[in-house]
Structure 1
Amino acid sequence: MADVARKAGVSPMTVSRAFKQDASVSHETREAVLRATEELGYVFDSTASNLRSQRTDFVAVTIPSINNANFADTVRSLTDGLAERGLQILLGYTNYDIREEERLIEQLLRRKPEAIVVTGGKHTPRARKLLSNAGIPVIETWDLPEEPIGHVVGFSNALAVREMVDHFVATGYRKIAFIGGDADRDTRGTDRRAGFIAAIEDHGLDAERLIAAGPPPISMREGANAMGRLLERFPDTEAVICVSDLSAFGALTECQRVGIAVPEQIAIGGFGDYEIGAICVPRLTTINAFAAEIVAKTAQLILEVLDGTLSGEPGRITIQPDLILRETSR
């Protein structure tokens, strides 16, 4: 900073004020400081300033997958939504493991974020304690936990799947299967599987057509392999609901490989409304969880809490997923 000050012909304190957009620094002086900074390749160290202000200007975020389109869009959109306030994202990748989530939460909280956003509503007891005692806004997303820690922006995965089951039954399907959601690591997938079982049993149908697809994240290949096992074990299946659009696309390609017509011989439904589901042939029936709306409301909630404009009880924003009917079902 002293080098920049000498080159710009100002004091180090003026350099500091210029970086903080202090109104006492004139436009001309700020431009001179910025030119000197550019020429010297200097990067302002905000550590000391943050220590004085007790602000770190970043929000911690945990996601279960970095190659899932919905979660990638979540991080990108959240970054954009907070950037105008000068807030940055510090990202933690849990790989669908709540024990890894616990470790990451502890590491992230040590860095004193302004808020923390976690994906899902199920955590280890220690992770819940860490979040409850963090003293910062906590936002749980992509779920509707029964005992929320703080703020919530999400939806019921079980009820979303129920909507597809209800439609399939109303359309005339009776022998309906489910692929995925068998691993405890994917708590939202497990909820979708539980929602499927409950809905099928409520209709008085057999809920035994459950095919494991392996640990999350479930790929297109694993979806195809699971579909192959389903066809071998339950060849009379009329419809299948998959835990995600990726596994549903894999199931679709397996049907095409073995010559089973979709939806004439078997209907397929996915979850997530991924881009691939809208462009594959035939196009995929799916559930749109409105990822963009979850992100927008999460960003808005963070800003309102940090600005002090949100008072009273923690916010609980419920998103209503939508069943999108396309060509893989009637």
Structure 2
Amino acid sequence: MKREKLRSERSAAPTLEDVAREAGLSPMTVSRALNNPAIVRPATVARVMLAVEKTGYIPNMLAGGLASRRSKLIAVVVPQINNNMFVDTIQAISDTLAQRGYHMLLCVGGYGSDSEAALVATLLSRKPDGIVLTGIHHAPALKKRLINAALPVVEIWDLTPTPIDMLVGFSHEKAGNLSARFLLSKGHRRFGLLWTSDQRALLRKQGVIDILQQHNECRFVEASVGLPATMRLGREGMQALLAGNPELDAIICSSDTLAQGAILEAQSQGIAVPQQLAVMGFGDLDFAACHLPAITTVAIDRWLLGQEAATMLANKIEGITISDPVRDLGFWLCERQSA
């Protein structure tokens, strides 16, 4: 009988009390270290995590969530994960949330508002503590559902004075304005616009067009490519632009990836960049400064965008006052060799 009892005890899953004994701490301290490490000394958290590893304890986050009415789960919805533009932002959100004791659930919503709405409806059933959405253009039903849920929401990568709840981003229209004004200041007047069709990119394109149309001597043609932006699509779009418009003297692209393909295609046709044709991108992706020629682009702080979004969300969840629910991070010009 004693042998059977011992075998049963050994096969039982380790408990919080087992971790506390191993760490030499109280169960309350262990619970705090696991559920809210930000309020516990780092040395104590490290001690608890070592005990967790030794005992094989699996924290019951659901039980903790029931007690505190928090799941410690943050849902982050992005249109794509194979788009370099979002990578740094996603990582910054994940790292910042982890420091605050939250876990990120990354979801891909695509570029359609209906698919995003269906995804968020499913996410809400899992009771996240907050949601990060990409952009500000959502289905009306989605906005209504989120407002009714009274859940903290941060929209990113866009700008509006009337977000669902909170927002961290920048004006795409003004970024487009900046690109056009820069190339006009260099004397360019015959433009090719190489663009994808997502809503934020289209806002930047409209910003470009608004400035170009103020100059009667300017002419521009457009080439649209699919999603996601790739170097191959950049080359194909550039081929289409040059085929019927050999007189172009500047190309503005909706991303650095398309600009990279455009430059490669121009070079393959014996067109010197920037001596014969200027090429400009957007995003300041990691390769832009190292490219030959280095790509002139508009930069945004993608990492800071993620940090700010995660911090605002965690603060709102924890009852910390948000002084400004709309954060405009702005952008800046990176003038390099390609334009």
User: TM-score range with shorter-chain normalisation?
Assistant: 0.7 to 0.9
| Residue aligned with 2:287, SS | helix
Structure 1 pair 164/116, CA: closer, same or farther in 2 (3 Å)?
same
Shift in Å, 1:299: 2.2
**Does the 8 Å CA contact 2:177/2:208 hold for their aligned counterparts?**
yes
Partner of 2:38: none
Distance in 2, Cα, partners of 1:317 & 1:9: 42
Letter in 1 for 2:317: L
Distance in 2, Cα, partners of 1:62 & 1:124: 14
**Does the 8 Å CA contact 1:122/1:145 hold for their aligned counterparts?**
no
Partner of 1:142: 157
Partner of 2:3: none
Structure 1 pair 65/9, CA: closer, same or farther in 2 (3 Å)?
closer
Shift in Å, 1:258: 1.0
Shift in Å, 1:96: 2.2
**Does the 8 Å CA contact 2:131/2:152 hold for their aligned counterparts?**
yes
- Any idea what the Cα deviations from partners look like across 1:277-303, whole Å, max 9, x if unmatched? 111100000000111221222122123
Aligned: 1:46 with 2:85: no
Equivalent of 1:76 in 79, 84, 91: 91
Partner of 1:25: none
Structure 1 pair 205/189, CA: closer, same or farther in 2 (3 Å)?
farther
Provide the TM-score with structure 2 as the length reference: 0.85
- Any idea what the Cα deviations from partners look like across 1:2-23, whole Å, max 9, x if unmatched? 643597797xxx996464138x
Partner of 2:80: 65
Shift in Å, 1:250: 0.4
Letter in 1 for 2:336: R
Distance in 2, Cα, partners of 1:224 & 1:175: 19
Distance in 2, Cα, partners of 1:76 & 1:303: 16
Shift in Å, 1:304: 2.4
**Does the 8 Å CA contact 1:4/1:36 hold for their aligned counterparts?**
no
Identity, % of aligned positions: 33
| Matched ranges for 1:182-197 at <5 A | 183=197, 186-197=198-209
| Matched ranges for 1:21-40 at <5 A | 21=32, 38-39=53-54
Distance in 2, Cα, partners of 1:51 & 1:122: 33
**Does the 8 Å CA contact 2:156/2:169 hold for their aligned counterparts?**
yes
Aligned: 1:243 with 2:254: yes
| Residue aligned with 2:179, SS | helix
Please, which runs of 5 or more residues in structure 1 have no aligned partner? Answer: 23-29
Equivalent of 2:135 in 115, 120, 127: 120
- Any idea what the Cα deviations from partners look like across 1:5-44, whole Å, max 9, x if unmatched? 597797xxx996464138xxxxxxx999977754553312
Partner of 1:222: 233
Aligned: 1:202 with 2:217: no
Please, which runs of 5 or more residues in structure 2 have no aligned partner? Answer: 1-8, 34-44
Shift in Å, 1:53: 1.6
Shift in Å, 1:146: 5.5
- Any idea what the Cα deviations from partners look like across 1:209-264, whole Å, max 9, x if unmatched? 111112x2111100110000000121100101000000000001001111100001
Partner of 1:291: 302
Structure 1 pair 219/32, CA: closer, same or farther in 2 (3 Å)?
closer
Structure 1 pair 200/33, CA: closer, same or farther in 2 (3 Å)?
closer
Distance in 2, Cα, partners of 1:263 & 1:9: 66
Structure 1 pair 9/119, CA: closer, same or farther in 2 (3 Å)?
closer
| Residue aligned with 1:66, SS | coil
Greater shift, 143-152 or 31-40, is seen at 31-40
- Any idea what the Cα deviations from partners look like across 1:36-73, whole Å, max 9, x if unmatched? 75455331222122112211012111111212223111
Aligned: 1:307 with 2:318: yes
Distance in 2, Cα, partners of 1:251 & 1:45: 52
| Matched ranges for 1:78-97 at <5 A | 78-97=93-112
- Any idea what the Cα deviations from partners look like across 1:150-208, whole Å, max 9, x if unmatched? 11111111110110100111110000121113x3xx11111111111111112335454
Partner of 2:271: 260
| Residue aligned with 2:193, SS | strand
Provide the TM-score with structure 1 as the length reference: 0.87
Partner of 2:41: none
Task: Tell me how large the CA RMSD over aligned residues is.
Answer: 2.6
| Residue aligned with 1:283, SS | coil
